[in-house]
Amino acid sequence: MPLSREDRWLTITLLLSFALTLFFWGVNASVFHFTGVSYFPRVSTPLICVALQFAYFDRCYNFISPRAGFIIKSCALYGLANIALALFAGGLQFTPFPPIDLTLQRWDRFLHFDTAAVMAWTAAQPGLHAFLNACYVSTDALLVLAPLIAGFAFDRRRMRVYLYAFVYSFLAGGLFYYFFPSSGPGSVYHSPYFMSIQRLTSTKFYQVHHFQEVPTMLGGMIAFPSFHVTWAVLTTYAARSSRRLFWGVAALNVLVVASTVLLGWHYLVDVPAGLLAGALSLYAGELTHRRLAQSR
């Protein structure tokens, strides 16, 4: 089955991410020899087969129900995009450049923002701390559910723009991280309120670049820009296909953005950077969709 122009362009961008992944792994294997960890969970390997099967089934079901075909194809492409970008993240960890966390800390000080003091204030209110933590971890669910809202609403334009923006934001943010890595406030602030999983971000960076075994993929990797903030922008956009669900998703994402700094996951400057990355990615996604749609 021939691919549409939109599918071909998305395929090209995913192949680009694979090429960059191989390049990063190749450079590390031949020059730096850093250790690392796979950011692609083994339990998710069958998703590759499932995504390919969905893409094949679309050819059959699309003749019966265009809506069903659209949902299946969208889920397949989104699944493949997540797989490609998980592999891409595995290559980014081999960055040979020094972290910029001290610079980010200085920017926060210029803005009169003290992460340690804010974390202490949040920890003094256990109920608020638990609530914000639940909001922060809800991003994983939103990344799954928000695109489905556009898919079931049969909103082709919004679904396509979201897919493009999702890939663009990760490629751009990932490339920025490779040359200007950051490990988050846990790497420069000393506070008893950091959770162990928060410290894993900087711990893994240290282990990779000191040739130590990295025992876990838990914890984050990129602090600047904040991908939680970027994803909050993207999932809110995708949820606009449903008026009933949009305001709930938008309110939750406002809390997600607040939790990134109140819980000490990110520097304050990471937030506007994440907002800008999300807005620019959506703009680029809209331009891509408009150009490909007009050239049919």
Q: Quote the pLDDT of residue 217.
A: 82
pLDDT of residue 56: 63
What does the pLDDT read at residue 1? Answer: 47
- The chain-wide mean pLDDT, for the chain, equals 87
Q: What does the radius of gyration of the chain's CA atoms come to, in whole angstroms? A: 20
In the structure encoding, which two tokens stand for residue 284, read together? 């680029």
Q: What confidence tens digit (pLDDT) does each residue in 202-260 have?
A: 899 999 999 999 888 888 889 999 999 999 999 999 998 888 889 999 999 999 999 99
What mean pLDDT comes out for the span 142-153? Answer: 81
Residue ranges per structural domain of the chain: 5-294
How confident is the model over 28-87, as pLDDT tens digits?
Answer: 999 999 998 888 765 555 555 666 666 666 566 555 567 777 777 777 788 888 888 888
pLDDT digits (tens, 9 = 90+) for 89-134: 999 999 999 999 999 999 999 999 999 999 999 999 999 999 999 9
Query: Which one is predicted more confidently, 2 or 146?
Result: 146
Tens of pLDDT, residues 247-296:
999 999 999 999 999 999 999 999 999 999 999 999 999 999 888 877 65
Question: Does the CA dihedral 257-258-263-264 come out positive or negative?
Answer: positive
225 conformational bin, left if phi > 0, alpha if psi -120 to 50, beta if neither: beta
What residues contact residue 12 under an 8 Å CB cut-off, 6+ apart? none
